[in-house]
Amino acid sequence: MSYQNIETLSWIGDQHGWLRMIDQTLLPAELHEIDCRHVETVWEAIKTLRVRGAPAIGIAAAYGVCVGLQTIPSDADIVEFKRRLHEVVEYLASSRPTAVNLFWALNRMKAKAESFYDSKNIEEIKVALFSEAKAIHEEDRRICRSIGMFGQELLRNGDTFLTHCNAGGLATADYGTALAVFFAATEMGKKIKVYADETRPLLQGSRLTAWELMQRGIDVTLICDSMAAMVMKQGKINGVVVGADRIAANGDTANKIGTYGVAISAKTHNIPFYVAAPVSTFDLTLVDGNSIPIEERDSEEICNGFGKRTAPQGVNVYNPAFDVTPAEFITGIITEHGIISPVNRENIHHLVSTS
Quick: pLDDT tens for 199-238: 999 999 999 999 999 999 999 999 999 999 999 999 999 9
Does residue 5 surpass a pLDDT of 70?
Answer: no
**Ranges of CATH 1.20.120.420 domains, the chain:** 3-144
Query: Is residue 68's pLDDT more than 60?
Result: yes
Choose, from 197, 245, 252, 323, the residue flagged as catalytic: 245
The strand pairing partners of 258, in sequence order, are none
Checking if the pLDDT of 6 tops 80, the result is no
How many whole angstroms separate alpha carbon 24 and alpha carbon 43?
A: 15
pLDDT in the model for residue 260: 98
75 has catalytic annotation: no
Residue ranges, CATH 3.40.50.10470, the chain: 148-354
Class of domain 3-144: mainly alpha
Average pLDDT across the chain, whole number: 96
Residue 241 has pLDDT above 60, yes or no: yes
One CATH from 3.40.50.10470, 3.40.50.300, 3.40.50.2000, 3.40.50.620 for 148-354: 3.40.50.10470
2: pLDDT confidence band, cut at 50, 70 and 90? very low
Q: Which residue has the higher pLDDT, 75 or 320?
A: 320
Taking each continuous run of H as one helix and of E as one strand, the counts in the chain are 12, 14
**pLDDT of res. 4:** 52
List the beta bridge partners of residue 254: 246, 324
Neighbour-count burial for 129-154, b at 16+ CB within 10 Å, e otherwise: bbebbbebbebbeebbbbbbbbbbeb
